[in-house]
């Protein structure tokens, strides 16, 4: 297994009396696709935002290659694509992509490859607010792929896609991971997660219930033929 | 760490600036304000030119009246005044957009992850606000051009000085709006907060101005006060630096409150430190009394010979005025004599001894209305508010003879009888149409030439 790229140590976050994250600890290895699995309200988004340094936490630390990475420096290593965001709605998709490509000094060829991979050409002239849910999601994915960060975290990357689109995007993400990029995907559709991820973190009520590959989770649950859905129900 | 140069503070500024400009100029707020500024400024300009023409007709019969016809007072200040109202009431909505839109859409969470420091993000947003102010200033600039086309006179220094004042005021309002957007969850709350600043200080100015003591000091903090000097044709170094410090203060607060990942406690501590720093800077700028009279008629200065002679009087001058601060005679004295003395003499102390009660009892108080001048151990008193009587008194105290007037041409004024009706067509029809066209232009989709860059995959 590749060395640990990111380590999350005892992360905790409360909103008043409500526990959002309780003593979360796990690690992410270089080049893997890690699935953050849990129902709505499990704390997936809170965890991703805390790791990205976009949410102050009550306790815990993030290590990057074994060294502590303070919140203000997380953006040097990690890029996080939030869910439900339609950035710069008044602008055409092409302008938003050009902005990110310009910031990260991406060449025209690199940008065009991402546009091609996500089949965004038909909507380049459209305003972001006028996009369908699927195209809005692809635009966000394009922004993530334009970023050069070693670790890309995405909140619900398959939301809004039909089955074919989900498979195509999952394949694209596998390809991206194969090129050496590490992905952390928060997914509530377990079938999608099983298709896309190498390893899984099962979250429920802000607590980490289990971690491991599908085989490891099956061994933990004592159910050698169970799918992820059955394992989630058994372990949480 | 991979691609360090792309993720650590070395990203190019151009894409960020272009994005901010598209955001502020591509949205409806700036254009809607521009469309509203057209009739506001246009009607003020029309009225100003009409009144100026009426006064000029009388001045053409009696040339002595012509010296009172000054374009700065007659045309510029009223026209710019309409713009001031628009900036106070509408510009916060435009400025809030540069951050409020990103907050509401969630794009802020992407923005703060880009390889720019928060200060850079806010600096570029302030630049976009400056661009928006420049666009909304177009109707005022066009009014100046129309005035020139009518044959009107514009003195460049006083005009540029007034533009500078409005620019600084606009940036101050913009910085306040930016701060309001940074601390608010949505644009509506930010708008309320920003208007509380702008309208609140307006009310402060109305209610407390002219009152003595603490009220007067508080009234000085009003945003409206920032324009007074510029409208009088004065360029005050201390005031300009003070406004810049305040713009920097609100921009710094916006920078502190921008990153969503910082704990509120840390933000509060940094904000308090910022407040302390700006208080020190503003106190330092308040001690800078250097001002430049940029008016063509030199209304803020004595005659050149007196200016030279008074500048030589380096001993402390103490003026004790027994007036209520709102007494019109004191206002006259302040404008005609004391403010000019403060500008030209190196060491002037003015003491105001009086109150509303004193004004009410002035009929029975013989000393009320008397002004005592103490210079070099000698003193004299006068009830005059005119420099013609007070300057000889000061020369007497200093033991110097009044200077002979320097040769030069007296200000003769610029009477102009012009019919401004045609300007209404410009401000109410032609300019709004042009603005509508420009708005449409900014909202057009990217050209096919631009789009082809995104689809040319090298295989």
> A67 and A84 in one domain?
no
In a domain? residue A214: yes
Q: What is the pLDDT of residue B358?
A: 56
Count of Cβ atoms closer than 10 Å to residue A191 Cβ: 14
Output the DSSP codes for A141-186: HHHHHHS--SEEEEESTTTT--HHHHHHHHHHHHHHHHTT-EEEEE
Strand, helix or coil for residue A41: coil
Q: What is the pLDDT of residue A1?
A: 60
Give the pLDDT of residue B6.
42
B180 shares its domain with B265 = yes
**Are B247 and B324 in a shared domain?**
no
Q: Do the domain assignments include residue A176?
A: no
> Which CATH number is A50's domain given?
3.40.50.300
In a domain, residue B39? The reply is yes
Residue B87 lies in a domain: yes
Query: Cα–Cα distance between B253 and B258 in angstroms, integer?
Result: 8
Is A7's pLDDT higher than 90? yes
Q: Which residue in this structure is represented by tokens 């710069």?
A: A88
Q: What tens digit of pLDDT does each residue of A73-96 get?
A: 999 999 999 998 999 998 999 999
* Distances B320 to A129, B23, B310 between C-alpha atoms, Å: 67, 56, 19
Structural domain including B272 reads 12-293+419-442
* Domain shared by B175 and B236, yes or no: yes
- The answer to the question of residue A136 being in a domain is yes
The pLDDT assigned to B364 comes to: 61
Q: Does A19 touch chain B (CB under 8 A)?
A: no
- Interchain contact B399–A (C-beta under 8 A): no
Burial class (CB in 10 A: 0-12, 13-18, 19+), B314: exposed
Co-location of B119 and B195 in the same domain: yes
Same domain, B180 and B321: no
Q: Give residue A29's pLDDT band: very low, low, confident or very high (50, 70, 90).
A: very high
3-state class (DSSP) for residue A139: helix
Same domain as B284, residue B320: no
pLDDT at B3: 45
Query: Does residue A175 form part of some domain?
Result: no
Give me the half-sphere count of Cα atoms (radius 13 Å) on the Cβ side of residue B244: 9
Q: What is the CATH number of the domain that holds B361?
A: 3.40.30.10
Can you give the pLDDT at residue B356? 58
Is there a contact between B153 and B297 (Cβ–Cβ < 8 Å)?
Answer: no
Task: Answer yes or no: is A174 within a domain.
Answer: no
Q: Would B329 be classed as within a structural domain?
A: yes
pLDDT of residue B285: 92
Q: Chain A neighbours among B 82-121 (CB < 8 Å)?
A: 101-102, 105-107, 109-110, 112-115
For residue B152, the SS3 value is: coil
Contact A116 B457 (CB under 8 A): yes
CA distance B270 to B274: 6
The predicted complex's ipTM stands at: 0.93
* Tokens describing residue B253: 């607060």
B56 domain-assigned: yes
pLDDT for res B214: 66
| Separation of first and last alpha carbons in chain A | 27
Minimal Cβ distance to A150: which of B1, B19, B260: B1
Residue A209 included in any domain: yes
Whether the CB of B16 is below 8 Å from some CB of chain A: the reply is yes
Q: Are residues B281 and B344 in the same domain?
A: no
Q: Quick check: is A62 in a domain?
A: yes
**Domain residues for A191?**
1-74+152-159+184-236
Interface probe for B, chosen from A97, A98, A179 (most Cβ of B below 10 Å), is A98
Q: Is residue A224 part of a domain?
A: yes
DSSP string, B29-54: HHHHHHHHHHHHHHHHHHHHHHHHHH
Same-domain status, B288 and B338: no
User: Does the structure show a pLDDT above 60 at A107?
Assistant: yes
B414 domain-assigned: no
pTM: 0.89
What's the average pLDDT block by block, 10 residues per block, for chain B (459 residues)? 48 94 89 95 97 90 82 96 94 93 92 95 97 96 96 96 97 96 92 91 72 66 84 94 96 96 93 96 90 92 91 92 86 91 91 68 72 92 91 92 80 90 95 94 80 65
Choosing from A148, A169, A195, the residue where a domain stops is A148
Question: Domain tally for chain A?
Answer: 2
Shared domain for B225 and B90, answered yes or no, is yes
Q: What is the DSSP string of B333-345?
A: HIIIIIHHHHHHS
Handedness of CA B15, B17, B19, B21 (dihedral sign): negative
Structural domains of chain B, count: 2
């Amino acid at each position: 297994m590749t060395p640990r790229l990111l380590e999350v140590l005892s992360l905790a976050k409360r909103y008043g009396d409500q526990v959002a994250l309780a003593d979360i600890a796990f690690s992410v290895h270089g080049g893997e696709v890690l699935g953050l699995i849990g129902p709505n309200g499990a704390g997936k988004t809170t965890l991703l935002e805390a790791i990205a340094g976009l949410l102050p936490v009550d306790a815990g630390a993030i290590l990057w290659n074994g060294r502590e990475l303070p919140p203000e420096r997380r953006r040097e290593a990690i890029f996080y694509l939030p869910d439900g965001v339609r950035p710069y709605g008044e602008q055409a998709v092409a302008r938003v992509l050009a902005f990110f490509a310009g910031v990260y000094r991406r060449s025209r060829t690199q940008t065009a490859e991402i546009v091609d991979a996500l089949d965004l050409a038909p909507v380049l002239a459209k305003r972001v607010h006028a996009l369908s849910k699927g195209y809005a999601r692809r635009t966000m994915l394009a922004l993530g792929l334009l970023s050069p960060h070693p670790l890309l975290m995405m909140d619900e990357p398959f939301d809004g896609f039909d089955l074919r689109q989900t498979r195509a995007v999952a394949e694209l993400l596998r390809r991206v991971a194969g090129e050496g990029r590490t992905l952390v995907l928060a997914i509530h559709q377990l079938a999608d997660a099983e298709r896309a991820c190498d390893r899984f973190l099962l979250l429920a009520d802000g607590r980490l219930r289990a971690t491991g590959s599908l085989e490891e989770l099956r061994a933990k649950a004592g159910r050698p033929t169970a799918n992820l859905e059955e394992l989630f129900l058994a372990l949480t | 760490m991979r691609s360090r140069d792309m993720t650590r503070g070395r990203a190019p500024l151009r894409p960020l600036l272009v994005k901010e400009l598209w955001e502020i100029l591509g949205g409806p707020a700036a254009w809607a304000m521009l469309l509203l500024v057209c009739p506001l400024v246009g009607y003020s300009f029309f009225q100003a030119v009409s009144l100026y023409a009426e006064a000029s007709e009388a001045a053409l019969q009696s040339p002595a009246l012509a010296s009172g016809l000054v374009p700065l007072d007659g045309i510029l200040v009223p026209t710019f005044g309409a713009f001031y109202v628009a900036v106070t009431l509408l510009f916060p909505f435009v400025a809030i957009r540069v951050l409020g839109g990103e907050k509401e859409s969630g794009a802020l969470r992407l923005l703060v992850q880009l390889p720019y420091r928060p200060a850079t993000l806010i600096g570029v947003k302030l630049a976009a606000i400056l661009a928006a102010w420049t666009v909304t200033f177009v109707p005022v600039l066009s009014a100046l051009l129309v005035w020139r086309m009518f044959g009107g006179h514009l003195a460049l220094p006083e005009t540029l000085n007034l533009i500078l004042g409005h620019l600084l005021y606009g940036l101050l309002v913009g910085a306040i709006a930016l701060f309001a957007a940074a601390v608010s969850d949505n644009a509506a709350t930010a708008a309320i907060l920003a208007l509380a600043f702008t309208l609140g200080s307006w009310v402060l100015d109305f209610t407390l101005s002219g009152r003595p003591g603490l009220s007067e000091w508080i009234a000085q903090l009003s945003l409206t006060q920032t324009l007074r000097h510029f409208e009088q044709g004065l360029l005050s170094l201390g005031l300009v630096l003070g406004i810049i410090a305040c713009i920097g203060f609100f921009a710094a607060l916006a920078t502190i409150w921008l990153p969503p990942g910082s704990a509120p406690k840390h933000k509060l501590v940094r904000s308090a430190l910022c407040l302390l720093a700006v208080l020190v800077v503003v106190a330092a700028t308040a001690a800078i009394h250097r001002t430049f009279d940029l008016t063509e008629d030199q209304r803020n200065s004595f005659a050149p010979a007196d200016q030279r002679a008074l500048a030589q009087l380096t001993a402390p001058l103490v003026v004790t005025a027994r007036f209520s601060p709102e007494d019109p005679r004191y206002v006259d004295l302040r404008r005609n004599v004391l403010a000019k003395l403060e500008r030209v003499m190196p060491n002037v102390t003015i003491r105001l001894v009086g109150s509303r009660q004193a004004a009410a009892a002035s009929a029975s108080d013989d000393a009320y209305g008397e002004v005592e001048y103490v210079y070099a151990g000698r003193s004299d008193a006068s009830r005059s508010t005119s420099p013609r009587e007070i300057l000889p008194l000061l020369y007497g105290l200093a033991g110097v003879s009044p200077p002979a007037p320097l040769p030069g041409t007296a200000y003769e004024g610029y009477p102009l009888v012009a019919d401004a009706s045609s300007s209404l067509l410009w401000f109410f029809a032609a300019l709004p149409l042009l603005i509508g066209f420009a708005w449409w232009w900014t909202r057009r989709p990217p050209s096919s030439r631009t789009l082809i860059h995104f689809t040319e995959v090298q295989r």
